[in-house]
Amino acid sequence: ANNQYVTADPAGVDVLSAARTAASTDEFLRWIPQPDGTYLLEAMANKAEVQTTSSGLVNNVNATNGKTASKFKLISASSTTTTPVPASGFLKSVSTGKYVWATTSNTTLLASEAASSTATTWYFDKLAASTNFTTLYDIRSGTTQQVVTDDPNGTTPLAAARSSASGWEQWQFAPSGCHWVISHTVSGLLVKVQPDGTLMAHGNTIDATTTWTIEGSGSTC
């Protein structure tokens, strides 16, 4: 082991390699659980699934090219220490410095508050659908107790408008430095702040617009 991050080629030509000292967009991969207990591996660099080739693993499988994604079995080799997702906190956009809020009368999430005192406290509940290798969460408003939902295409703003979490209300969190990126479990796309302050899950790149601080969680950012 070289303690390097696995990186994927955005063009889907080169094989995956453990060759980066820090993680950014090309190093963002996710395991997708399958009904038979196996997993698919998806590279967010090009939204393609990984196939085993004679040269190695390549992220070159999409819905139109006729290639078949490889299935993987994950086996725990040893215990590892990962950054835990906080149980609750204020969501703050790294890009704008604004806090996120939503109310009963306006369920759309908005990153528009200058101070946490007027923002919503959000709860991140681990879901029963989680596996040993893929942890799923809902995002629940402490004000209304409604969970955040999205459409799978990422074309509408996020809204705290569901009483319980189903497929469209499931999220994954990944640390990015001392911040977080949040991806929609169905689409794999990242939650991104929009120019009008709304949040939409349609980001493909890890940058300030798709990165969030969970304030009140002991973050030192």
Q: What is the pLDDT of residue 49?
A: 96
Distance CA 166, CA 128 (A): 11
Q: What is the pLDDT of residue 81?
A: 58
Mean pLDDT of the chain: 92
Sheet order of strands, 48-52 included: 29-33, 39-43, 48-52, 57-61
**Which three-class secondary structure state does DSSP give residue 83?**
coil
Low-confidence ranges of the chain (pLDDT < 70): 77-81, 217-221
Q: What is the DSSP string of 9-41?
A: -TTS-SPPEEEESS--GGG-EEEEE-TTS-EEE
- Cβ atoms 119, 113 nearer than 8 A: yes
Domains and CATH numbers, the chain: 5-61 (no CATH), 88-215 (2.80.10.50)
pLDDT of residue 78: 60
Q: What is the pLDDT of residues 32-49, one digit of tens each?
A: 889 898 999 999 899 999
What is the per-residue pLDDT for 220? Answer: 54
- pLDDT given for residue 164 in this prediction: 92
